[in-house]
Structure formats: structure tokens, C-alpha cells
A and B are shown apart, each in its own frame.
Chain A
Amino acid sequence: RKEVEQDPGPFNVPEGATVAFNCTYSNSASQSFFWYRQDCRKEPKLLMSVYSSGNEDGRFTAQLNRASQYISLLIRDSKLSDSATYLCVVKILTAGNKLTFGGGTRVLVKP
């Protein structure tokens, strides 16, 4: 089983709609959680950190459920520019603070 698993998608989303997707992690020692965004053939970039109480950044909302070991990302009022692959990333304290990346969820926003 992969340490960090994501639905690869694609999630086809009409412009203006809301889309949400999850990521599950298997290591209960996971300490910190992030969502990165990766455009086609480009480098990943940090979208947002995920805090225990949940957090928002504009149209993006991230949630953490430690009991069920998953995190989620919700995008409201989707824009064409939101089309990208979203990478779920977990930092495990006992693994030397290295980051473990999920395979990514592809989102396609269409007019």
C-alpha cells in the first residue's frame, strides 16, 4: 500500500462549480500536511498547508481528519486556471522530516 494515496482523476469540473477530493495516508506518525499544485510539465509549488482545525485560502479549503487519516481539498467557484494536478504531501517526523508525495489528482475545469 502506498503511504499517500490519491484518486488520480481527472475530475472534470464546470467553470464556477465546486470540486472536492481527498487523500489518505497510512502512517499515523504523519506530522504535517500540505497541498501542492503542479501544472503540466512544471515544478510543484506549495498551494497551502493543512492545519488540524482546517483552513481556508480564498476559494480553497483544506481539512484534516486524523482519526480516519485523510486530508481533503475543496475548490469553490472553479476557474479555468485551477486546472492542474494537486499533490497531497505528508511530512513524517520519524522519517527525518522528509516529504512523501501522493501521485496527484488531476482537475480539469471546463467552460
Chain B
Amino acid sequence: DADVTQTPRNRITKTGKRIMLECSQTKGHDRMYWYRQDPGLGLQLIYYSFDVKDINKGEISDGYSVSRQAQAKFSLSLESAIPNQTALYFCATSDGTSGEQYFGPGTRLTVT
């Protein structure tokens, strides 16, 4: 079984809709991250959390919110989706020491 899972894997939604992307991990890591990836732009950090009570904004947090429900779960919400939020979204975890991050398989979101 995958260590980092994301649901849904693909989602098409309409402008103005609220949508939640979920991430779960079995690696036992405290640190979790949400990124979006657009072609040619690399991964941009949306939000990150170093433990259940710690939530931090990343580079591009506007239009997004997160919830860290438990050590193993970190969800990303788009309160009112807009077309330029169409992207590939990745969740990742790390133990905070080695620098390595472990990524989920990604969620492909299309906002029409």
C-alpha cells in the first residue's frame, strides 16, 4: 500500500464550487505539505504543517485553506474554485531531518 495517498485522483468542478482534496499518510511523519504544479513552473508550496497544531502559509495560499485533522491527515480546500486553480496538486510528508519529502500520487483538478 502507498505510504501517502490522495483523494480524489481526478476532479472536474465548476467555477464557484467548494472542493476538498484529502491526503493521508502512514509514514508517521509530523510534517505535511500541499503543493500545486503548473507546466514549467515547478512545484509551488501552498500550505505546510509541522504538527497537528501548526499551520503555515506557503508561497501561494490565497484562495486555499487547510485542515490538519490528525498527524496522518491533511486536507486542502478551495473555498470558491476558479479556472486558474486548474493544476496538479501534490501532498507530501517529511520527517524534518533528512530533507527528503515523500509525495502522494497527485490530484488532477480542472475548474471549468
A interface list, Cβ under 8 A from B: 4, 8, 32, 34, 41-46, 49, 87, 91, 96-99, 101-104
Contact = CB atoms under 8 A, between A and B. Distances in A.
The residue in B90, B103, B105 that gathers the most chain A C-beta atoms within 10 A of its C-beta is B103
B1 interface: no
Given A98-B45, A101-B43, A103-B42, A43 B90 contact: yes
B106 A42 contact: yes
Q: How large is the interface on B (under 10, 10 to 19, 20 to 34, 35 or more residues)?
A: 20 to 34
A65 B38 CA distance: 29
Interface in B17-48: 35, 40-45, 48
A34 B92 CA distance: 16
Given A42-B105, A42-B106, A104-B42, A96 B56 contact: yes
Contacts, number: 46
A44 B100 contact: no
B96 interface: yes
Contacts of B105: 42-43
A43 B42 contact: no
Given A32-B99, A97-B96, A103 B40 contact: yes
27 contacts: A34-B100, A41-B88, A41-B108, A42-B105, A43-B90, A43-B103, A43-B104, A43-B105, A44-B43, A44-B90, A44-B103, A46-B100, A49-B98, A49-B100, A87-B43, A96-B56, A97-B96, A97-B99, A98-B48, A98-B58, A99-B45, A99-B99, A99-B101, A101-B44, A103-B40, A103-B41, A103-B42
